[in-house]
Chain A
């Protein structure tokens, strides 16, 4: 599904990712853990195609295609989804209008028939109930005045609505209390599927108690320095990043 080879990437000319290699297969959930400044968010933005996050060498293949050559909207239409750490507030665009516009833009790009207003509302309601996103929230401006938990729930609702093939979750646990965390994790777990890959990027092991990964990668200074099964996350929690990074060196 996703093949990253010797990826070097720079933000505003400064190299952040320095030879990152990673492979995620269909049906798998991989966790990327790392201390602050290790390049976790850079990786997520590079995968989503944010301007200013430039691939300087190496390759990213998604379903065999060169991901870096695609615009952010092309990536989304082809099934790449990034649940952001800080979802953006957009005054003047209601949440429902946004969901309808995005869903139909993706469908149009894939040559599928657009869904009418009633159809979108039905689809959204179906997903919203599970994520405890109220009708009132759907009518409000996108993310404006939403709590941290509400924003994250809306990100997972979008993931459920768009049904991506590759989902990247960037620090989805940050700012969540335990109940919100469980709800979000449950939402993510329902979306685990044989034809879907997930990359869970997190600083803390906490989220991985609820979203149990198949593989854990440790990112430090722009490279993967350690890899293992889910037990690696527990080891990190017990020993701290410093020890693991030192052992790996």
Chain B
């Protein structure tokens, strides 16, 4: 039997996230099957075990292992025109598999929490039907886990996928989102915040505008202190003939200490003629002038820094449509900032 070699920094897509260094190959292949608990389910949805044949969308390097090693997993379906919300808590680590299908005209609000540590490797399929909508919040508290979560999301004509990744890091934390905007009018809006106090978080996205008149936005914010490390790798690909595609991509980082590191790598690959694409990335420190202005008004240093960090993160959190979910993320952010100061 060939020895399993895990992705490492010699592989371009894993340059900043060395899984090989973080976990033994043996621990990966012998890991149990991950399990979820349904914390809350509302509306009309079917929850079953995975079918015999699970589709396998465009994924990254680790998803194949998860798919072949996971013995079971939840399969969630929202039928045509129905509305549902679901809160899924990952309760047992290991290799995991999830299938989510939201049929034509249906909508799903999905809140996913990863509260366990250990080794986690999840491959998830999300299929969004015509004119269907999915709002996805992925909440990962700070921990010691080594985790990879790889989503393949396929959006049909007129469908919308919104995802917010609030990842407060782990020993290694990698989220991959492989998006295919497959039908005209399909949209994807990705955002995320990471407060990384000595921990690691990597968001790697691939946004495929397969057909024209599709829209995508991405807005990610990172704050890193201690030996914290934040990574954003985002590739936007506009296929030949996908005219009228509109894509925006922005990632920004705030480095609070010299030891911290933030790597931002937006990429564009455009094969169509008539498209609107904008991307940007910037890393900086808290603005000294702003800090002085706030302090000169009586705001103590720690409070002024927190205020400026919240301001920095704010527009990414504002991408979340639901006020309740925004509040949930703000609470997590405030906890993260408080722990850091």
> Which residues of A pack against B, CB within 8 Å?
48-51, 71-73, 75-77, 82, 84, 87-88, 90-93, 98, 101-103, 105-106, 109, 158, 162
Contacts and interface: CB of A to CB of B under 8 A. Distances in A.
Which 4 A-B residue pairs are closest in the complex by CB-CB distance? A92-B311, A76-B298, A106-B298, A102-B297
B307 A72 contact: no
B140 to A, nearest CB: 24
B144 interface: no
A92 B311 CA distance: 4
Contacts of A91: 311
Contact of A162 (B289, B298, B312): B298
Contact residues of A: prevailing secondary structure: helix
Nearest to A76: B298
A68 to B, nearest CB: 15
B290 interface: yes
Nearest to A101: B299
B298 A92 contact: no
27 contacts: A48-B296, A49-B295, A51-B292, A71-B295, A71-B300, A71-B301, A73-B297, A73-B304, A76-B296, A76-B298, A77-B298, A82-B296, A88-B289, A88-B292, A92-B311, A92-B312, A92-B314, A92-B315, A98-B297, A101-B303, A102-B297, A105-B297, A105-B298, A105-B300, A105-B303, A158-B297, A162-B297
B6 interface: no
A71 B293 CA distance: 13
A218 B65 CA distance: 78
Contacts of A105: 297-300, 303
Contact of A76 (B297, B301, B312): B297
Contact of A73 (B290, B300, B307, B315): B300
Of listed A50, A102, A158, residue having the most chain B CB within 10 A? A102
Given A101-B299, A102-B298, A105-B299, A72 B311 contact: no
Interface in B283-341: 287-290, 292-301, 303-304, 307-308, 310-312, 314-315
A87 B290 CA distance: 9
Contacts of B307: 93, 98, 101
B132 to A, nearest CB: 33
A228 to B, nearest CB: 30
Interface residues of B, number: 23
Given A76-B297, A98-B297, A109-B300, 14 more contacts: A49-B295, A73-B295, A73-B298, A73-B300, A84-B293, A84-B296, A88-B289, A90-B293, A93-B308, A93-B311, A101-B299, A102-B297, A105-B297, A105-B298
A93 B309 CA distance: 10
Contact of A72 (B290, B292, B303, B310): B292
B287 to A, nearest CB: 8
A72 B312 contact: no
A51 B288 contact: yes
A88 B287 CA distance: 10
Contact residues of B: prevailing secondary structure: helix
B293 A87 contact: yes
B311 A73 contact: no
Contacts of B300: 71, 73, 105, 109
A75 B301 CA distance: 13
A88 B290 contact: yes
A12 to B, nearest CB: 13
A98 to B, nearest CB: 8
B296 A90 contact: no
A91 B289 CA distance: 13
B293 A73 contact: no
B293 to A, nearest CB: 4
Contacts of B303: 101, 105
A76 B292 CA distance: 12
B290 to A, nearest CB: 5
A101 B310 CA distance: 13
A107 to B, nearest CB: 9
A188 B281 CA distance: 43
Contacts of A158: 297
Contacts of B298: 73, 76-77, 102-103, 105-106, 109, 162
Contacts of A102: 294, 297-299
A76 B304 CA distance: 14
Contacts of B290: 88, 90
Contacts of B304: 73
B258 to A, nearest CB: 18
A40 B49 CA distance: 74
B317 to A, nearest CB: 10
Of listed B287, B297, B308, residue having the most chain A CB within 10 A? B297
Contact of B295 (A76, A103, A162): A76
Contacts of B297: 73, 76, 98, 102, 105-106, 158, 162
Contacts of A77: 298
Contacts of A101: 299, 303, 307
B147 to A, nearest CB: 30
Contacts of B293: 84, 87-88, 90
A106 B314 CA distance: 25
A49 B301 CA distance: 13
Interface string B240-258: 0000000000000000000
Contact of A50 (B292, B310, B311, B315): B292
